[in-house]
């Protein structure tokens, strides 16, 4: 039985895998492409006396590859043996998909196109005239739906017919470009690819094709003609980037063909109507900023309601535990150390969940992809591209998945720049610190605005740093931004609740283990050595009969123990470094603890400020901090928390994702130096203008 080997290609998310799964009687083989870890799917089935073998190539936007997957597709199409190309297109995105189709058509190989998801397109009143499409560019096409399993038999009949007729595409560009293609083509002698394809790729400055012809004896004649042809094209189109000129040519060709073959839906879809507003070139950015501002307002205002109840609950729980246990170190460590410290963190759980809920809703409704599209123009000005928006926004939740999300940026420079500034996006663990300090030093009426300013200020600073990194260390342009805009969908309540439950469970697990252990460690270091001080004050306390005087002496004793404790010695040893920022040793120690996990900053301050005896932990701690810290110190601490190194888990993830030692060292040092300098400048300005 004769075999037809078919290369299955298409842009990501066009339904290639779904189409494979819909073929009746097919045998699926899964492995890896040679030399790489990219998954390789092969499907075999029989039709009309032929054994059809489909090789599912990774989804790709262009034959100018940016990702390992795209390179696999290009290498296969250029270097492997196959009989025919089957190009799958999303019927709802014909214009955009055809740009890639025309690149593939330049190979001059037999080709068939499947307009997939036609069921969705036709439901809105749309039609695609495949016969007219064939007449225009000599490529057989079929309307199909992998989901509904219609049109597939007709598609493979056309595959066989194309194979038997050795039918090849007929795609032509504008007169000027065609003339220069012919001029370059005349200078190409023997070559493994079609000469026209080779000429086009040389004009588009394809490095793989350049390497192929560079050693040829006729290369000298070719290169002078090539330079002349590119000069003509650049002058004609007033654009120095020939690759971009070819992109515009294919886009124009795509638009022209779609106008002739596709009848669009009579009615404008709901997604299109909404997009007219949300991704409007002028209104899009202000709308996005308003949405983010509203999320932060809700995070602060709504989250504050249950926070006090949680704080009061932990205070009552501490008293209950204290009533059960006999006096001693165990009781003291739990009642004055662990319980209030953990409570000081858990009370911010509502705020964190509201922030996560807001981001989750943006993702599920499809707005996050629009925000990336809106932000692409802004990010490009700072040396980033639109796709960087996803890991950057993920950084507002947690830096660990944000660093992993940066894998979508396959250009090494773009990925590294993005990862180096993710830390400027304040993760959810920093939120309790901001809330504590903002509540203590800013009027209630402006607390939400201050929180918004902190988050936006951190993000803008990150973008400025990204621009500096691009100009100084990573010269070059960011890769082009390509991203699917999914249809708007109602968020799934089950998925949202499950996501919030997972985050709650992780947070409480962290609070119940790591933070509890940290709180106990901080309490121990802040409570010892104490023997001599306790002996001295025990005598004084016994001699006093007044309850108030006894309480005053106990408070004085606890303060003296703290000031002579192990942790006080550590804090005072590093205090000279932070003295220019008006920070005391308690704040210094808290910030150091935050390098392990940002959640421990608040719990450490709760222990060091002795907030464990308060009726309501939050109000007691806020009051103590307000009385002990100057405003400049609060600003300095907020700025340091905004910019200094993230937690150990996040840093470990960065080290795992970035193999180069030089960037690991740079990443370890520069955020902390930057945070210190930024805090010093802020404190100095406040002092000058106050």
pLDDT of residue 273: 79
Query: Taking 80 as the threshold, does the pLDDT of residue 431 lie above it?
Result: yes
The most confident of 80-89, 204-213, 215-224, by mean pLDDT? 80-89
Residue 613 pLDDT level (bands cut at 50, 70, 90)? very low
The most confident of 107-116, 407-416, 477-486, by mean pLDDT? 107-116
Mean pLDDT of 40-49: 85
Burial class of residue 82 in the structure, from the number of CB atoms within 10 Å of its CB (0-12 exposed, 13-18 middle, 19+ buried): middle
pLDDT of residue 485: 63
Query: Taking 50 as the threshold, does the pLDDT of residue 614 lie above it?
Result: no
- Range(s) within the chain of domains with CATH label 3.40.50.300: 2-165
pLDDT of residue 678: 93
Of 198 and 410, the structure prediction assigns the larger pLDDT to: 198
Looking at every residue in the chain, the average pLDDT score rounds to 81
Angle at 269 between CA 266 and CA 272, to 5 degrees: 120
Among the residue ranges 66-80, 218-232, 550-564, 643-657, the one predicted with the least confidence is 550-564
The most confident of 169-178, 568-577, 647-656, by mean pLDDT? 169-178
Mean pLDDT of 57-62: 86
pLDDT of residue 681: 94
Residue 293 pLDDT level (bands cut at 50, 70, 90)? confident
Q: Kindly state the percentage of the chain with pLDDT values over 90.
A: 18
Query: Taking 70 as the threshold, does the pLDDT of residue 515 lie above it?
Result: no
Cis ω before 664 (30° cut-off from 0) = no
Among the residue ranges 192-201, 272-281, 338-347, 456-465, the one predicted with the least confidence is 338-347
DSSP 337: I
Residue 105 pLDDT level (bands cut at 50, 70, 90)? very high
Mean pLDDT of 36-58: 82
pLDDT of residue 546: 77
> Does the pTM exceed 0.75?
no
pLDDT of residue 513: 66
Tokens 């795209």 locate to: 70
CB-based contacts of 65-71 (< 8 A; 24+ apart in sequence)? 66/410, 66/411, 66/479, 67/410, 68/36, 68/38, 68/410, 69/38, 70/410
- β-pairing, 2-10 vs 27-32, is unpaired
pLDDT of residue 675: 93
Tell me the fold of 175-263: Helix Hairpins (1.10.287)
Mean pLDDT of 518-523: 69
- Range(s) within the chain of domains with CATH label 1.10.287.1770: 175-263
CB-based contacts of 622-628 (< 8 A; 24+ apart in sequence)? 622/436, 622/439, 622/440, 623/440, 625/436, 625/437, 625/440, 626/440, 626/441, 628/584, 628/586
What are the pLDDT digits (tens) for 262-284?
887 556 666 777 878 887 878 88
Which CATH number is 2-165 given? 3.40.50.300
Burial class of residue 9 in the structure, from the number of CB atoms within 10 Å of its CB (0-12 exposed, 13-18 middle, 19+ buried): buried
Residue 511 pLDDT level (bands cut at 50, 70, 90)? low
What are the pLDDT digits (tens) for 334-372?
776 677 667 766 766 777 677 778 777 877 777 777 777
| Pick from 500, 468, 476: nearest CA to 411 | 476
Helices (H) then strands (E): counts for the chain = 34, 9
Q: Phi and psi (nearest 5°) for 42?
A: -125, 135
Query: Taking 80 as the threshold, does the pLDDT of residue 51 lie above it?
Result: yes
């Amino acid at each position: 039985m004769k075999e037809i080997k078919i290369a299955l290609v298409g842009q990501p998310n066009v339904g290639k895998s779904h189409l494979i799964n819909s073929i009746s009687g097919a045998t699926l083989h899964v492995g890896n492409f040679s030399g790489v870890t990219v998954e390789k799917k092969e499907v075999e089935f029989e039709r009309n006396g032929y054994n059809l073998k489909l090789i599912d190539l990774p989804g790709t936007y262009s034959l100018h590859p940016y990702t390992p997957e795209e390179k696999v597709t290009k290498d296969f199409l250029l270097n492997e043996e196959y009989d025919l190309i089957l190009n799958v297109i999303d019927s709802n995105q014909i214009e955009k998909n055809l740009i890639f189709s025309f690149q593939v058509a330049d190979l001059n190989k037999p080709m068939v196109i499947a307009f997939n998801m036609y069921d969705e397109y036709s439901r809105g009143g749309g039609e695609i005239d495949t016969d007219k499409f064939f007449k225009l560019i000599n490529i057989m096409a079929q309307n199909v739906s992998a989901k509904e399993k219609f049109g597939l038999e007709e598609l493979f009949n056309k595959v066989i017919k194309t194979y038997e007729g050795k039918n090849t595409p007929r795609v032509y560009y504008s007169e000027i470009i065609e003339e220069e293609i012919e001029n370059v083509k005349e200078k190409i002698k023997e070559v493994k690819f079609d000469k026209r394809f080779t000429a086009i790729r040389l004009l588009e400055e394809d490095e793989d094709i350049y390497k192929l012809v560079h050693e040829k004896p006729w290369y000298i004649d070719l290169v002078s003609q090539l330079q002349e042809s590119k000069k003509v094209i650049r002058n004609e189109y007033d654009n120095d980037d020939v690759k971009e000129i070819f992109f515009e040519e294919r886009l124009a060709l795509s638009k022209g063909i779609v106008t002739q073959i596709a009848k669009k839906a009579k009615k404008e879809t709901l997604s299109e109507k909404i997009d007219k507003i949300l991704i409007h070139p002028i209104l899009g950015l202000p709308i996005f900023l308003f949405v983010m501002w509203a999320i932060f307002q809700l995070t602060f205002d709504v989250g504050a309601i249950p926070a006090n109840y949680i704080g009061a609950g932990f205070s009552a729980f501490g008293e209950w535990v204290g009533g059960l246990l006999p006096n001693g170190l165990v009781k003291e460590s739990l009642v004055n150390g662990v319980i209030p410290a953990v409570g000081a963190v858990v009370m911010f759980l509502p705020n964190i969940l509201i922030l996560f809920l807001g981001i989750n809703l943006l993702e599920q409704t499809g707005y996050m992809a629009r925000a990336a599209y809106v932000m692409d123009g802004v990010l490009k000005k700072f040396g980033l591209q639109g796709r960087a928006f996803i890991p950057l926004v993920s950084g507002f939740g947690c830096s660990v998945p944000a660093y992993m999300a940066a894998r979508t940026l396959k250009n090494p420079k773009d990925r590294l720049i993005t990862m180096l500034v993710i830390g400027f996006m304040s993760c959810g663990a920093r939120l309790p610190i901001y809330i504590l300090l903002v509540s203590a030093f800013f009027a209630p009426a402006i607390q939400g605005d201050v929180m918004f300013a902190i988050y936006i200020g951190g993000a803008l600073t990150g973008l400025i740093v990204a621009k500096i990194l691009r100009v100084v260390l990573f010269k070059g342009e960011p890769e082009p931004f390509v991203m699917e805009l999914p249809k708007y969908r109602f968020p799934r309540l089950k998925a949202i609740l499950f996501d919030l439950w997972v985050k709650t469970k992780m947070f409480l697990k962290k609070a119940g283990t790591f933070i509890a252990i940290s709180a106990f460690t901080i309490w121990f270091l802040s409570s010892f050595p104490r023997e001599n001080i306790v002996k001295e004050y025990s005598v004084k306390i016994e001699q006093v009969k007044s309850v108030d005087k006894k309480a005053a002496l106990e408070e004085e004793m606890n303060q003296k123990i703290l000031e002579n404790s192990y942790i006080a010695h550590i804090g005072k040893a590093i205090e000279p470094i932070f003295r220019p920022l008006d920070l005391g040793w308690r704040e210094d120690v808290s910030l150091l603890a935050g390098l392990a996990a940002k959640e421990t900053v608040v719990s450490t301050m709760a222990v060091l400020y002795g907030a464990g005896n308060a009726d309501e932990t939050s109000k007691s701690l806020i009051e103590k901090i307000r009385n002990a810290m100057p405003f400049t110190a609060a600003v300095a601490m907020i700025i340091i928390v905004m910019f200094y190194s993230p937690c150990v888990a996040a840093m470990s993830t960065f080290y795992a994702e970035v193999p180069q030692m030089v960037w690991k060292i740079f990443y370890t040092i520069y955020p902390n130096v930057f945070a210190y300098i930024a805090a010093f400048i802020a404190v100095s300005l406040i002092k000058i203008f106050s």
